[in-house]
Amino acid sequence: MRICYIDESGTPEVPGTTDHFVLVGLSMPIGFWKEADAQVTQVLTRFGLENAEFHTAWLLRPYFEQSRIPNFSNLSTVERVREVRRYRTTELLKLQKTGGKRHSNAKKTYKHTAPYIHLTQIERRDAALAVAEAIGGWSECTIFAECINKIHFDPARTHRSVDEQAFEQVISRFQQYLARQPGNAPSSNYGILVHDNNQTVAKKHTDLMRKFHNSGTLWTQINHIIETPLYVDSSLTRMVQMADLCSYALRRYVENGETDLFRAVFRRVDRYAQKAVGIRHFAGLQCQCEICAAHHRGVWVTPP
Ligand SMILES: [Zn+2]
């Protein structure tokens, strides 16, 4: 039995606010969960993040006040927190007078980044990389993903929305992986999906999954995945946060060419007959990226 944790990065709307929409499934056998969780805790403890929600995008964005606090990186943890809080309180009081969007944006940013203000930008990047490398070392785990460049996406041809295509692809790849596993199939090779409880997609993905159970996806029958996705609060479920890190890493690679987090997690993508069958970059055949090379031609820039 395997759990597949699903999360996304980027906006599925066209054009939305990102070039790409990425959906990831991070799957692991249930017997490995405890070990995986313990490893993540160990890494996060090194950075004082063991009790925090691990939200990669909020963790890694620049925190402007850190550059305005003199000597920030040489301050103690307690001093850093105190100075950032002081700066933010002053800033909020200032913005309160004018109100409007800047005030609400600042409040939102401060709330989401509060657990990470004791770390410099380099330390936060190190934390994300350490977690990504831990995931990269989990040979028991397999990643499935669809990375859609929305410029190349034509709903008139696919008859699907961006997020429907991504979900169908990830489900199909997880199913095909389960069907390929040795054992007394299918009884020993079941999988279940655990998904961030995003109100806008929960109903849609539940309906889609029912449809797939009844009539298969475009690619395969679904007879190894049970149930419709189980929805959880991602702020409380660490492995969904790990799927979030993977989706962030993939999107930042296909959009900006950032390779550090990407190469750590790309090692775990499902491969079969030398090809990266577990992932696709939907970007046209001319794309020369590492995902396309490994998916279409079995050429791996990063050794598996
Ligand atoms: Zn590509």
- Domains assigned to the chain: 2-43+138-296 (3.30.420), 50-130 (no CATH)
- Cα of 299 vs centre of ligand 1, distance in Å, is 12
- Cα of 287 vs centre of ligand 1, distance in Å, is 5
- For 33, 49, 62, 101, 293, the CA distances from 168, given in Å and listed in that order, are 25, 34, 34, 37, 22
Under the banding of pLDDT at 50, 70 and 90, the label for residue 120 is very high
- Cα of 244 vs centre of ligand 1, distance in Å, is 20
- Cα of 160 vs centre of ligand 1, distance in Å, is 21
**Beta pairing class for 191-196 and 142-149:** unpaired
Q: What is the spatial distance between Cα 272 and Cα 31, in angstroms, rounded to a whole number? A: 23
- Cα of 283 vs centre of ligand 1, distance in Å, is 6
- Cα of 254 vs centre of ligand 1, distance in Å, is 7
H or E element in which residue 103 lies? helix 100-113
pLDDT at residue number 269:
97
- Cα of 20 vs centre of ligand 1, distance in Å, is 11
- Phi, psi of 298, deg, nearest 5: 70, 25
**Threshold 0.85, pTM exceeds:** yes
Q: What is the spatial distance between Cα 296 and Cα 250, in angstroms, rounded to a whole number? A: 17
- Cα of 258 vs centre of ligand 1, distance in Å, is 13
pLDDT at residue number 185:
62
- Cα of 8 vs centre of ligand 1, distance in Å, is 18
- Cα of 88 vs centre of ligand 1, distance in Å, is 40
pLDDT digit string, tens, across residues 188-223 = 799 999 999 888 889 999 999 999 999 999 889 999
For ligand 1, a single-atom ion, the residues with CB < 5 A are 281, 283, 287, 289, 291-292
pLDDT digit string, tens, across residues 133-163 = 999 999 999 999 999 999 999 888 888 899 9
* Both structure tokens of 262: 């990407």
What is the DSSP track for 136-182? Answer: HT-TT-EEEEEEEEGGG--HHHHSS-HHHHHHHHHHHHHHHHHHHS-
Is a pLDDT exceeding 60 seen at residue 304?
no
- Cα of 253 vs centre of ligand 1, distance in Å, is 10
Handedness of CA 147, 153, 157, 163 (dihedral sign): positive
- Cα of 275 vs centre of ligand 1, distance in Å, is 14
- Cα of 220 vs centre of ligand 1, distance in Å, is 24
- Cα of 278 vs centre of ligand 1, distance in Å, is 14
pLDDT digit string, tens, across residues 37-93 = 999 999 999 999 999 999 999 999 999 999 999 999 999 999 999 999 999 999 999
